[in-house]
Amino acid sequence: MSAVSCATNPLVRYQRAMKIKVAIFEDHPDLREGLKQLIQNTPGLKCVGAWDSCDYLVIRLLQNEPHVVLMDIGLPGISGIEGVRQLKAHFPAIDVIMLTVYEDDAKILDSICAGASGYLLKKTPPAQILEAIKEIRNGGAPMTSSIARKVLAHFQHHSPNPTADYQLSEREQQVLADLVKGFSYKMIAESQFISIDTVRSHIKNIYSKLQVHSKTEAVAKALKSKLV
């Protein structure tokens, strides 16, 4: 097939469109370039931008339209956590994975509350970073195991709010319970015998009722308030 026919073939255009577009915010030049090359050389992924700060974040994301953002915390100027807040305020559908050296509870929880759906340490092997990008696009909430334990421990040791009534329907409670188990959208659909689109609709309603912006926030609130 010629280069021209490849460019105009609908199937080829569709396959290209299926790539997960990833943006990187990382101030360490070697790591930033390494992540960029890792993503570019992985089938099904495309790096649409790699920057050393959150300056002009909204403009950059508007121009490049990523599906997933890898975000460092310790950036010059605007911190990665504040960057996530800005990102989620303008682009709630973009999934954010924090990729950082920080393991302290405050930064982990601040990142989750800002809207991050994943949290990985920079020492995470490249193959696991790639898997996390794919997982988060399939409805997962990837976390380094030590980070996941910290999140669960924090919310399990905080007193629940017994008066909280978020008016979740029975089906929404079931979907939320599956989210807490770490199920992807596909797994929830199979568990509840519903379509993935219906799962998305239920999760949108759950987010609205719980007043959260990410899967991780929803799970944290469910554990804290003992909703499941």
Tokens representing residue 25 in the block: 């915010």
pLDDT digits (tens, 9 = 90+) for 166-198: 889 999 999 998 888 778 888 899 999 999 889
Terminus-to-terminus CA distance in the chain, angstroms?
Answer: 55
For residue 66, what pLDDT is reported? Answer: 95
For residue 152, what pLDDT is reported? Answer: 63
Q: How far apart are CA 212 and CA 215, in angstroms?
A: 8
Domain annotation for the chain: domains and CATH numbers:
3-153 (3.40.50.2300), 160-224 (1.10.10.10)
Q: How far apart are CA 102 and CA 147, in angstroms?
A: 10
Task: Name the more confident of 219 and 153.
Answer: 219
- Which residues sit opposite 96 in a β-bridge? 69
For residue 157, what pLDDT is reported? Answer: 59
* 132 within 8 A of 112, measured Cβ to Cβ: no
Residue % of the chain over a pLDDT of 70: 86
DSSP 64: H
Helices (H), the chain: 3-8, 10-17, 29-40, 57-64, 80-90, 105-114, 126-137, 145-156, 170-180, 185-192, 196-210, 215-224
Task: Name the more confident of 93 and 25.
Answer: 25
Residue 201 has pLDDT above 50, yes or no: yes
Confidence class of residue 94 from pLDDT cuts 50, 70 and 90? very high
Q: How far apart are CA 153 and CA 18, in angstroms?
A: 37
Q: How far apart are CA 53 and CA 4, in angstroms?
A: 38
Residue 99 has pLDDT above 90, yes or no: yes
For residue 93, what pLDDT is reported? Answer: 87
Residue 49 has pLDDT above 80, yes or no: yes
Confidence class of residue 6 from pLDDT cuts 50, 70 and 90? very low
Single out the residue of 3, 203, 209, 1 nearest to residue 117, CA to CA.
203
Rounded to the nearest 5°, which phi and psi values hold at 25? -120, 105
Residue 7 has pLDDT above 50, yes or no: no
Residue 70 has pLDDT above 80, yes or no: yes
Burial of 1 (0-12, 13-18, 19+ CB in 10 A): exposed
Q: Which of 16-20, 136-140, 152-156, 176-180 has the lowest mean pLDDT?
A: 152-156
For residue 12, what pLDDT is reported? Answer: 44
Q: Which of 35-44, 128-137, 161-170, 189-198 has the lowest mean pLDDT?
A: 161-170
Confidence class of residue 154 from pLDDT cuts 50, 70 and 90? low
